[in-house]
Amino acid sequence: MTLSELNIDASAKQNAQTWLDGDYDEATKQAVRDLMSNPNELNESFYRNLEFGTGGLRGIMGVGTNRMNRYTVAMATQGLANYVRKCFPNTEKFKAVISHDSRNHSCEFAEITAHVLAANGFHVYLFEALRPTPELSFAVRHFGCHTGVMITASHNPKEYNGYKAYWDDGCQLTEPHDVNVIDEVLKIKELKDVKLSGNDDEIELVGANVDELYMRQIEANSLHPELIRQYPDVKIVYTPLHGTGVTMIPRMLERMGFTNVNIVEEQSTPDGNFPTTPSPNPEEHAAMALAVDLAKKIDADIVFASDPDADRVGVAVKRPDGEWMLLNGNQTFAVLMYYVIKQRQAIGGIRNGDYVIKTVVTSELPSVIAQSAGVKVYDVLTGFKWIGAKIRELEGKERFIMGGEESYGYMIGDFVRDKDAVAACCMIAETAAWACSQQKTFFDVLVDIYREYGFYKEDLISVVRKGKSGAEEIQQMMRDYRTNPPQSINGSKVVRIIDYQSGQDTDMLSGKQSLIRLPKSNVLQFFTEDGSKISVRPSGTEPKIKFYFSVCDSLSDAAAFDSVNARLDAKIKAIQKDLRLC
């Protein structure tokens, strides 16, 4: 059977035939032929080209234009190189830095990226071994590079890999660069358009020297180093989940002065198959299970886990009843914000022009904490690239303190322009030491926050719809919400709707509309009369549509935590049921 005889998408036929006719290796061509016996998989592999989303280029590994492989990586890199050269036309020497995580084929993809950039006249700084994403972001600015590339699929399952492209400020690509880069990639119709080799003497291996400079910056973040000297034996359990965090986080904690760091041995070896967990995502209980088991065994004070590229961090804390509770990203961000703000107030470090940043789907609690101290808060679109872009916009005008988002990403200081699990783990550990100095636990600090500012509770549901038909279904769901928005949710009237795609903020009671001064994005938010917030957005990196829920109540005293928590959980479930999501 030939491709023309298969009942598949026309674009898939054309793309697959190009690979069969082009200058691809024979093993790849045979893999395409093998897919002819599975038309659905052939269609999924070739019906489109991978696109840049909020996290860059990301997909399942395998043959095809819609898969991560050596050829899609090479073509993406050629497009990136072409675009960089257009943006900096008078540059004598282009520079780029490349790193990778522990995923299968990550090292290979990093090397291919380096070869293509070198062949295009770039001096390439290639990390000699796996390194965390935040160190790559730091290195872009340190070396004065025009671009950088991190090969990683972050916290996705083992079948995935990805390609995060960075601009000269160490931030992931934002508009118009993200769209323009993919436009350049789409201009490359054949593999012969890619410069695959040449000038390899321009590839320079880097490692320990950058590590040292990066660690110095994190060390300078500390707001209360004497606390660590007083409480160095805070009992920490850490797991890198088979990722890059093991190269940096234990070293950094030791350097900060923490002497009781216990690593989960079963997950300490970098391994792209992630053999001890179904998903290397610190947001999930299964990924944290071994770490929590160790914490129970040794009676630890706090647990944290970094994802494979060490930009996200999950936290577990011990409750007064001895049980362990996993914090969500909003809770960890709130505690970090509370500690940083309180310490800056104590040392007289809050001044006019200080600001923090959060994403629009993140809890309002960090904003309440910051604003109560006179610190300005900026909301940006989902994705840390928008936090980095805002920092660049305000550079030299105002002073950035910290930023965060609900999906377990935090950034303290601006020497890195992406979420940073290494720096976050150090600040979390310092916060735990501060809690000890107050005869409290990390959990106690969270409860104190709820008592002072209100008990905010959040949840997230992701509805997965895979493939081309799934993508179309997700878009139809968004159209339905726009054309027929809910009038009430869980019996509470919808009083405000923000549509970030149209840029309209609508007061549903008065009908008054105002403009949202943010880039267009396919996100909807519904605010109800009882203070609930529901956000809806398709994922930029995964085949899913996400629903974010936030509700709030007062907490009179610590003893009421469980009852208020249960009441808020029930409210979220009722909202989800009303929206037919459960």
pLDDT at position 473 over 90 = no
More reliable by pLDDT, 438 or 543:
438
Give me the CATH code for the 456-578 domain, please.
Answer: 3.30.310
pLDDT at position 410 over 60 = yes
Which of these, 546, 527, 504, lies nearest to 405 by C-alpha position? 546
User: Quick one: average pLDDT of 202-212?
Assistant: 98
Supply the pLDDT for residue 56. 67
pLDDT at position 512 over 80 = yes
pLDDT at position 185 over 90 = no
Q: What percent of the chain has pLDDT over 70?
A: 98
Under 8 Å between Cβ of 78 and 193: yes
Structure tokens at 366: 């960090």
Q: What percent of the chain has pLDDT over 90?
A: 82
pLDDT at position 572 over 70 = yes
pLDDT at position 541 over 80 = no
Under 8 Å between Cβ of 75 and 51: no
The ranges of the chain annotated as CATH 3.40.120.10 are 48-206, 213-453
Q: Is 325 exposed, middle or buried (0-12, 13-18, 19+ CB in 10 A)?
A: middle
- Determine the Cα–Cα distance for residues 489 and 11; give it in Å rounded to an integer: 41
pLDDT class of 540 with cuts at 50, 70, 90: low
More reliable by pLDDT, 149 or 13:
149
The CATH fold of domain 213-453: Alpha-D-Glucose-1,6-Bisphosphate; Chain A, domain 3 (3.40.120)
For the chain, what is the largest distance between any 2 Cα atoms, rounded to a whole number of angstroms? 75
Q: How many CB atoms lie within 10 A of CB 262?
A: 18
Supply the pLDDT for residue 370. 97
More reliable by pLDDT, 573 or 539:
573
Per-residue pLDDT tens for 446-471? 999 999 999 999 999 998 888 778 88
| Angle of the 177-186 helix axis to the 70-87 helix axis, nearest 10 | 120
More reliable by pLDDT, 180 or 419:
419
Q: What are the backbone angles phi and psi of residue 493, rounded to the nearest 5°?
A: -65, 135
Per-residue pLDDT tens for 276-291? 998 999 999 999 999 9
User: Quick one: average pLDDT of 468-493?
Assistant: 91
pLDDT at position 52 over 90 = no
User: Quick one: average pLDDT of 134-139?
Assistant: 98
Supply the pLDDT for residue 171. 95
More reliable by pLDDT, 189 or 293:
293
Supply the pLDDT for residue 201. 96
Q: What residues act catalytically?
A: 154
- Determine the Cα–Cα distance for residues 281 and 309; give it in Å rounded to an integer: 11
Supply the pLDDT for residue 349. 79
More reliable by pLDDT, 328 or 184:
328
Supply the pLDDT for residue 107. 98
Supply the pLDDT for residue 338. 98
pLDDT at position 53 over 70 = no
- Determine the Cα–Cα distance for residues 488 and 497; give it in Å rounded to an integer: 11
Supply the pLDDT for residue 183. 85
The CATH fold of domain 48-206: Alpha-D-Glucose-1,6-Bisphosphate; Chain A, domain 3 (3.40.120)
User: Quick one: average pLDDT of 158-178?
Assistant: 93
Average pLDDT of the chain is: 94
Per-residue pLDDT tens for 83-126? 999 999 989 899 999 999 999 999 999 999 999 999 999 999 99
pLDDT at position 2 over 80 = no
What pTM does this model have? Answer: 0.93
pLDDT at position 54 over 70 = no
Per-residue pLDDT tens for 330-363? 999 999 999 999 999 998 878 899 999 999 999 9
Per-residue pLDDT tens for 239-277? 999 999 999 999 999 999 999 999 999 999 999 999 999
pLDDT class of 539 with cuts at 50, 70, 90: confident
Beta strands 524-528 and 122-127 are: unpaired
Supply the pLDDT for residue 88. 95
pLDDT class of 543 with cuts at 50, 70, 90: confident
379 membership: H or E segment, kind and range:
strand 376-380
How far apart, in Å, are the Cα atoms of 554 and each of 81, 361, 367, 453, 460? Answer: 53, 21, 17, 8, 21
Supply the pLDDT for residue 494. 97
DSSP per-residue codes, 310-358: SSBEEEEEE-TTS-EEEEPHHHHHHHHHHHHHHHHHHTT---TTEEEEE
Which residues fall within 8 angstroms of residue 518, CB to CB, at 6 or more apart?
360, 379, 380, 381, 500, 503
